[in-house]
């Protein structure tokens, strides 16, 4: 059955000079109803870049066809497609003929956000360290220890790039991780950023794509209902943290 078209109405421009703002409003409102965004071309100096950044901030999958350059090409170049989506024919995004695969690519991007292609549950090479700023010393201590063991730790702040939205760069790092380490504390519980990271990690943990290790730093209750099935390990100092993690590796 074909979907029934729906018309959405927006305020008309008040004068000839306000057409740009009216058009921007339509695009921003359209994001509220979108499950994915297909980008082709788009002037870098106009609203296209703003719309695509907003889509990234809202974790909407973006299918950027780069053959017409512009804003869509910038989005394509900012991602490591082979690393994030192994097996995906990213070359299709650089060809006009690839537009026929837009929905196939969109389905892959949506499904891989939760259930990716990683099936080795024993793999523990890449670690995402999720912590509140007040608990940075714990994350730094663990990162140094993991590096000494030849492993790859990532702290969310270190993934941030000037040309991308913070949310999308952190999400990519979580998608590439094997283990998500939570430094739970009252400061963590009060952080919206930490909650967003944990929420995505829990979705991937439920389908076997990620392990989650929780270290409770101050004995406070684990608030998110979805994380209460995970057994936290109580550590009081960075040294205790290293001692505890050594038994996992």
- Tell me the C-alpha distance between 188 and 201, whole Å: 15
Judge if 65 and 142 occupy the same domain.
Answer: no
- Tell me the C-alpha distance between 136 and 142, whole Å: 10
Judge if 197 and 223 occupy the same domain.
Answer: yes
Judge if 130 and 235 occupy the same domain.
Answer: yes
Which pair of tokens denotes residue 30?
A: 């359209």
Query: DSSP assignment of 202-247, as one string?
Result: HHHHHTTS-EEEEEESS------GGGTTS--EE-SSHHHHHHHHHT
Judge if 203 and 145 occupy the same domain.
Answer: yes
Picking from 114, 137, 155, the residue at the C-terminal end of a domain is 114
In a domain, residue 1? The reply is no
* DSSP state at residue 86: T
Judge if 194 and 224 occupy the same domain.
Answer: yes
pLDDT of the residue at 215 = 93
**Residue numbers of the domain that contains 62:** 16-114
pLDDT of the residue at 163 = 55
Judge if 153 and 90 occupy the same domain.
Answer: no
Burial class of residue 27, CB neighbours in 10 A (0-12, 13-18, 19+) = middle
In a domain, residue 120? The reply is no
- Tell me the C-alpha distance between 30 and 47, whole Å: 14
Which secondary structure element, helix H or strand E, spans residue 184, and what is its range?
strand 179-184
State the 10-residue block means of pLDDT for the chain, 249 residues long.
64 83 85 86 86 84 92 89 83 91 85 57 80 94 94 73 67 88 95 91 88 92 87 90 83
In a domain, residue 238? The reply is yes
pLDDT of the residue at 165 = 66
CATH of the domain at 230: 3.40.50.10140
pLDDT of the residue at 180 = 94
Sequence-distant (6+) residues with CB within 8 A of 229 are none
Judge if 107 and 176 occupy the same domain.
Answer: no
Sequence-distant (6+) residues with CB within 8 A of 249 are 124, 149, 151
Provide the pairing of β-strand 233-234 with 179-184: unpaired
Judge if 106 and 151 occupy the same domain.
Answer: no
Q: Cβ–Cβ contacts within 10 Å for residue 136, how many?
A: 14
């Amino acid at each position: 059955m074909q979907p029934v078209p729906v018309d959405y109405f927006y305020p008309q421009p008040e004068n000839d000079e306000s057409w740009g703002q009216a058009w921007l409003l339509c695009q921003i409102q359209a994001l509220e109803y979108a499950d994915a965004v297909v980008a082709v071309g788009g002037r870098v100096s106009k609203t296209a870049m703003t719309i695509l950044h907003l889509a990234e901030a809202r974790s909407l999958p973006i299918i950027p066809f780069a053959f017409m350059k512009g804003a869509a090409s910038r989005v394509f170049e900012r991602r490591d497609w082979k690393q994030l989506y192994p097996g995906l024919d990213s070359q299709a995004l650089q060809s006009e003929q690839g537009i026929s695969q837009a929905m196939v690519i969109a389905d892959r991007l949506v499904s891989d956000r939760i259930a990716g292609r990683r099936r080795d549950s024993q793999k523990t090479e890449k670690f995402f360290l999720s912590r509140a700023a007040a608990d940075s010393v714990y994350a730094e201590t663990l990162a140094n220890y993991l590096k000494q063991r030849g492993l790859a730790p990532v702290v969310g702040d270190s993934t941030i790039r000037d040309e991308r939205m913070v949310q999308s760069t952190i999400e990519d790092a979580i998608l590439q991780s094997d283990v998500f380490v939570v430094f739970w504390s009252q400061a963590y519980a009060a952080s919206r950023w930490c909650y967003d990271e944990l929420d995505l990690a829990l979705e991937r943990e439920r389908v076997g794509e990620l392990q989650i290790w929780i270290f409770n730093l101050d004995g406070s209750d684990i608030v998110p209902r979805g994380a209460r099935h995970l057994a936290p390990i109580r550590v009081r100092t960075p040294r205790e943290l290293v001692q505890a993690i050594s038994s996992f590796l």
